Structure 1
Amino acid sequence: MIQGSKDWTDAKPSSYAPVRGVDVEDVHAEARRRLKALKIDEWKMREFVTGVSIPDDIRHVALQIEFASQAISRLSPIPSDYADDIYWPRVW
């Protein structure tokens, strides 16, 4: 009878990292990052305080970012390069 060491067979290499797929939350986080770069919260605050509407081009890009986020989130599987600019609207 041959007996092996359980420690040897169950041990994982020290550099082992479980492979994690792209999650929907990752895509939403990328959308939030892009909206933050657009300063959409500042535009919304300005609109709330002053009553002056968000400029149409800013509003349009924000809507495109939200749409892209929803569309990418529905892909199966979500591409690992989801944060690449090819998936998102170009900002000027």
Structure 2
Amino acid sequence: MFKVIEGGRGQAARADMRLEAGRGPSRDDVRREAARRLDASGYHLSRVREFATGAPMPASLRYLSLQINFVAETLSKLDPIPLDFCSDAYWPAFA
């Protein structure tokens, strides 16, 4: 039996349909982008490691999390939310 696994393409298709219908990005879209960036940074793995071992996570990751959450909150409050909200120009860079 086959199972459909929905990933980035499915989300992109929904976003395209929303744009065609005349609606811009939603607050949920911004939150998903923030979560994607946090996942890509390794924040969650470091957080789990901190709970498991007691060793503190790097301060740079903690600071990056604060920055990403701030950007997500700020972008979510804009009306309308910019169509290019996924652009790196809005989000902090992580190394």
> What TM bracket, shorter-length normalisation?
0.7 to 0.9
Output the aligned Cα RMSD.
Answer: 1.0
Give, in whole Å, the separation in 2 of the partners of 1:91 and 1:18: 34
Q: Which amino acid aligns with 1:83?
A: C
Higher helix share: 2
1:91 aligned onto 2:81: no
Instruction: Return structure 1 stretches of 4+ with deviation > 6 angstroms.
Output: none
Structure having the higher Rg: 1
Give the gaps of 5 or more residues in structure 1. Answer: 1-16
CA shift digits 1:22-80 (9 cap, x unpaired): 10000000000000001211111100000001100111111100111001101111000
Alignment of 1:1-92 (within 5 A): 17-92=20-95
Give, in whole Å, the separation in 1 of the partners of 2:35 and 2:87: 15
Q: Which amino acid aligns with 1:40?
A: Y
Give the gaps of 5 or more residues in structure 2. Answer: 1-19
Q: Scaled by the length of structure 1, what TM-score is found?
A: 0.78
| Length, aligned pairs only | 76
